[in-house]
Homo-oligomer: A and B are copies of this chain.
Amino acid sequence: MKPRLFTPGPTPVPEETLLELARPVTYHRAPEAKAILAEVSEDLKYVFQTSQPVYTLTCSGTGGMEAAVSNTLAAGEKAILCTAGRWGERWRGILKAYGANIVTVEVPYGKAVTPEMLEKALKDNPDTKVVFSTLSETSTGVGHDLEGYGKVVAKTDALLAVDGISGVGAMECKMDAWNLDVVVTGSHKALMMPPGLAFVAASAKAWKKIDATPVRNFYFDLRRYRKSLAESDTPFTPGNTLIRAQRVSLKRIRAEGIENLWARHARIAAACRAGVEAMGLKLFAERPNNALTVIAVPEGVEGTATLKAMEKKYGFKLADGQDTLKNHIWRLSHMGYTDAFEVLGALSALELVLGEGGFKLDAGAGVAAFQKAYAAGK
């Protein structure tokens, strides 16, 4: 049986990137290593759609989020937290650890925080220093209107920090054009790499605040990364084989083109949603994003057991819900190095396993609807 990875991180990695990881290790301060970092940093600017430098941190996405918090906020300063799921709660955990004064804009899991809600919170809290938000709320499948947030926040003195970890690359996100002040992402989602690297960029507005904020830690101090990257270097020994491999995946992204990458994800996601609904299933997110499709487990079906059967019998590994959503949702990623035919296969496997479990469905309806929607897409 062929194993197939559909978890919303890690995601499948192109073969040429994996092979790069098997090449001998080299010295991270050699001129060749600096040239690679410089190239990766340029390609990341393209992916982020920014003219600002993008810093490479050796850590998981959470480390990048911690950098966003600790560099922009002094203890006791006010932050607005927009939270619609587990990753919004991740911001909260970091904000609490750094003693932020947190104002929460919260919606139930499956719903989205709207720009209007954020606008009201900003009006009520004019002393807000930073707004923390989530592009793709991977725990529920919701995508947030960051372009809308950006318009609202840009009118104030506050910064807009974005967890773009499972969003950047999978859905439209234009750091400069949308006035996003701090954007964080990770290697292991739409950027087609194993976990281990986080990427962070900050706007000129953000840098002004960062330079006025006391140093709060060391490894995540962005000023150190700024100083080093000016010489195509990193302040600490980086995961240099990961950076070398990220270069390979970024070349693939450049060759495809970022707009084409967004369009590919949008087309597959739309077809996937059509397929799911044609199977008589419901989408969990009220504002679904293109990184993953989150399906509500229908009444009478055991969510976790279904996923286990699907993996054991057909090799497809989807993700369960987390915490209280465990057994209640299925999360199917179509990020990065995943194409339409693979997602079609995943729907086929889901149809099969549901049918075998006694769930009533019209065999073939899901894959046919996927095919029809995909053919109609562009």
Question: Which A residues are closer than 8 A to B by beta carbons?
Answer: 3, 5, 7, 9-13, 18-19, 21-28, 30, 58-63, 66, 70, 93-94, 97-98, 186, 188, 194-196, 215-221, 236-242, 317, 319
- Nearest CB in chain B: distance from A274 CB, A: 26
Interface contact A188-B24, CB-CB below 8 Å: no
Query: Per a CB cutoff under 8 Å, which of B19, B24, B98, B218 touches A5?
Result: B24
A11 and B25 contact, Cβ closer than 8 Å, known pairs A97-B216, A239-B194, A239-B196: yes
User: Which secondary structure characterizes the binding site on chain A?
Assistant: loop
Which of B9, B12, B59 contacts A63, CB < 8 Å?
Answer: B59
Inter-chain contacts of A195 with B (CB < 8 A): 28, 58, 237-241
How far is B217's CA from A317's CA once the two chains are assembled, in angstroms?
Answer: 34
Identify 14 residue pairs between A and B in the complex whose beta-carbon atoms are under 8 Å apart, listed by A's number: A7-B27, A10-B28, A18-B21, A18-B23, A18-B24, A19-B22, A27-B319, A28-B195, A30-B317, A62-B218, A62-B219, A186-B237, A194-B241, A217-B217
Pair A240/B194 contact, Cβ less than 8 Å:
yes
State the oligomeric state as a number of copies: 2
Docked CA distance A7–B237 (Å): 13
Q: Which residues of B contact A238 (CB under 8 A)?
A: 60, 195
Complex CA gap A237/B236 in Å reads 20
Whether the Cβ atoms of B24 and A241 lie closer than 8 Å is no
The residue in A26, A218, A241 that gathers the most chain B C-beta atoms within 10 A of its C-beta is A218
Q: Is there an interface contact between A13 and B25, defined as CB atoms closer than 8 Å?
A: yes
> How far, in Å, is A186 (CB) from chain B's closest CB?
7
| B60 & A239 in contact (Cβ 8 Å cutoff) | yes
CA distance A58 to B28 in the complex (A): 17
Q: Beyond A10-B240, A58-B58: 7 further Cβ-contacts under 8 Å?
A: A10-B27, A61-B237, A93-B218, A186-B237, A195-B239, A195-B240, A196-B239
Question: Given that A22-B21, A25-B13 are known contacts, is A237 also in contact with B188, CB under 8 Å in the complex?
Answer: yes
What's the Cα separation between A66 and B21 when bound, in Å? 27
Q: Please, which residues of chain B bring their CB within 8 A of the CB of A13?
A: 24-25
Considering the chains assembled together, what is the distance between the CA atoms of A59 and B242 in angstroms? Answer: 12
- Asked if A97 meets B58 with Cβ closer than 8 Å, knowing A5-B27, A19-B22, A26-B10, the reply is no
Q: How far is the CB of A107 from chain B (nearest CB, A)?
A: 24
* Chain B residue nearest in CB terms to A57: B59
